[in-house]
Amino acid sequence: MSRLSYHRRLHRARKVKAVGRPVKSKAEQGQAPSEAGDVPGVSGVPPTWALDDHDERDTDALMGIAEVCELYHVSPRALRFYETKGLLAPRRINGTRVYNQVDRARLMRILRAKSLGTPLAEIKHYLDMYGQHGEGRIQQLTWVVEKTDAAIAELEAKRAQIEASLNELRFINERTRQTLLAKKAPGKVA
């Protein structure tokens, strides 16, 4: 029995224990596998547990690349790409990539930031701020507050512009409808 199949069965057993029933993969359900970048959650954004500092899952569990791809809905190519860019650094056992809880938490942060349109260079900068033992966490949090404040301000300005455009279009539409009804009124020749 290969180490990877052992981990797959172990992971599936944990899912059954957590959910209370066997959990089928997308392939077993007859669905096409997700594309790279697809993440569970609203509008492609991972659920809020992705932001938690500590995940309640088994922190010693190692997962192979196939398990991580299925769980987080990313392609093996995407994981390898993140590795080449220095965003992920999974251990290797007998030449096989294995991802621990820290790697998976890092991946969730990458996917969340990517889904919000953050460039990979900024994601790497954010992840590198953390340091080896979390010594840069305050700097990291400050950076996130600054970035999100700026993004919120930009989106609110865009929303105001959109609202102004919608109001103008509604006004034009209503005036045009009134003019059209007046032209079509009985006794009027168009």
Q: What digits encode the pLDDT tens for the residues 31-88? A: 433 443 333 333 444 444 344 444 445 556 899 999 999 999 999 999 999 999 999 9
pLDDT digits 0-9 by tens, 137-150: 999 999 999 999 99
Q: Percentage of the chain surpassing pLDDT 70? A: 66
Sketch the domain layout of the chain as residue ranges: 3-129, 135-190
Bridge partner residues of 96 (DSSP):
93
Give me the pLDDT at residue 38, please: 39
The model's confidence at residue 100, banded by pLDDT at 50, 70 and 90, is very high
The model's confidence at residue 185, banded by pLDDT at 50, 70 and 90, is confident
Give me the pLDDT at residue 161, please: 98
Average pLDDT in the chain: 78
Q: Are 25 and 70 in contact (CB under 8 A)?
A: yes
Question: What is the CATH architecture of 3-129?
Answer: Orthogonal Bundle (1.10)
Given 3-state DSSP classes, what are the helix, strand and coil percentages for the chain, each rounded to the nearest 5?
60, 5, 35
Give me the pLDDT at residue 132, please: 77
Distance of alpha carbon 11 from alpha carbon 64, whole angstroms = 10
Distance of alpha carbon 64 from alpha carbon 75, whole angstroms = 13
Tell me the mean pLDDT in the region 12-27: 48
Does 12 have pLDDT greater than 80?
A: no
pLDDT digits 0-9 by tens, 86-96: 999 999 999 99
